Amino acid sequence: MTGTDQTCHRLEGRIAVVTAAGQGIGRAVAERFIAEGAVVHASDLNGALMDDLAGAASVAALDATDHVAVLAYFAQFPQIDTLCHGVGYVHHGTIEQCSPADWRRTMSITLDSAYYVLGAGIPAMKEHGGSVITIASLASSIKGYPFRAAYGAAKAGVIGLTKAIAADYIKENIRANAVCPGTTDSPSLRERIDALAVKMGSAEDAYNFFISRQASGRFGTTAEIAALCAFLASDDGSFMNGQAINIDGGITI
Ligand SMILES: NC(=O)c1ccc[n+]([C@@H]2O[C@H](COP(=O)([O-])OP(=O)(O)OC[C@H]3O[C@@H](n4cnc5c(N)ncnc54)[C@H](O)[C@@H]3O)[C@@H](O)[C@H]2O)c1
């Protein structure tokens, strides 16, 4: 079994805001929070990806790199109990293969967006406290990976920002933790495998290359990452603060 039982209702009535909720990890987090009883506000750059979530959650198209749009979106929330931010972009390359435009795009999508979203969301958590969750990565300050120069730097920044928030707002009962997944089966992972398949001339070889890097012999599932996020959002995670938590099937043993 690679998911978890979703019958507990640890987030009953809580207000949860989830970015990048159209697909992948963000989508699984939104679904898990709904299953746990939260009132979920889901957003994504591509609003159409959330058509089937509407009804179970409030959904909105939001470009998390647009500071003005982010501020306008968050103005609707007098209170937020949980804020999960997972917008990120993987540039494939060493520092020499990373143009200034690649670097800026990576920082904009992965790190600037975190600054905008968390900065806009924190004021709505200060009165009642809450849980901030960022989706960082093993490819960060945790571990160096080949061809992840810009991505690793940006995700290290996400971890640093998350820890700074934990330190700054501990008196307001705001906890902030960074979830650091290993390779997780998501639409963008499948795109990366497909791109490698073109280079290698074989879909099977490309898939096996990615799998060969997994200590557990498999990818993580988005449900597994979402289960950790639900723990952090809930009172079960009430003593977790300022941590970068690896969830990687044993890569960092
Ligand atoms: N999949 C993995 O192996 C893996 C591993 C470690 C960390 N992560 C991180 O987890 C997060 C989610 O990755 P994933 O692979 O599950 O999802 P994904 O890449 O398949 O989907 C990401 C979602 O983010 C949305 N998005 C992109 N740019 C946006 C923007 N500017 N504003 C708002 N939404 C935007 C996309 O429309 C998409 O719905 C990312 O930050 C990624 O770096 C993923």
Q: Which among 136, 127, 114 has a CA at the least distance from the CA of 228?
A: 136
Q: Which among 98, 89, 100, 73 has a CA at the least distance from the CA of 17?
A: 73
Q: Which pLDDT value is given to residue 6?
A: 57
Residue 151 a catalytic site member: yes
Across all residues in the chain, what is the average pLDDT?
Answer: 96
1, pLDDT greater than 50: no
Q: Is 44 left (phi over 0), alpha (psi -120 to 50) or beta?
A: beta
User: What is the rounded distance in angstroms from the CA atom of residue 205 to the CA atom of residue 200?
Assistant: 7
Mean pLDDT over 202-212 rounds to 95
Catalytic residue (choose from 73, 116, 151, 169): 151
Task: Give distance in angstroms: CA of 171 to centre of ligand 1.
Answer: 31
Q: How confident is the model at residue 55 (pLDDT cuts 50, 70, 90)?
A: very high
Q: Which among 154, 186, 135 has a CA at the least distance from the CA of 18?
A: 135
User: What is the rounded distance in angstroms from the CA atom of residue 28 to the CA atom of residue 185?
Assistant: 11
Mean pLDDT over 51-70 rounds to 98
- The Cα-based distances of 225 to 33, 130, 136 in angstroms read 12, 19, 11
Q: How confident is the model at residue 7 (pLDDT cuts 50, 70, 90)?
A: low
Q: Which pLDDT value is given to residue 24?
A: 98
Mean pLDDT over 129-137 rounds to 99
What residue ranges define each of the domains in the chain, with the CATH number in brackets?
Answer: 15-183+221-247 (3.40.50.720), 185-219 (no CATH)
Say if strands 15-18 and 82-85 run parallel, antiparallel, or are unpaired: parallel
Q: Which pLDDT value is given to residue 120?
A: 98
User: What is the rounded distance in angstroms from the CA atom of residue 177 to the CA atom of residue 202?
Assistant: 39
Q: Does 187 contact ligand 1 (Cβ within 6 A)?
A: yes
Q: What percent of the chain has pLDDT over 70?
A: 97
Q: Does 30 contact ligand 1 (Cβ within 6 A)?
A: no
Q: Which pLDDT value is given to residue 4?
A: 58
Q: Does 108 contact ligand 1 (Cβ within 6 A)?
A: no
Contacts of 202 (CB under 8 A, 6+ apart): none
Q: Does 188 contact ligand 1 (Cβ within 6 A)?
A: yes
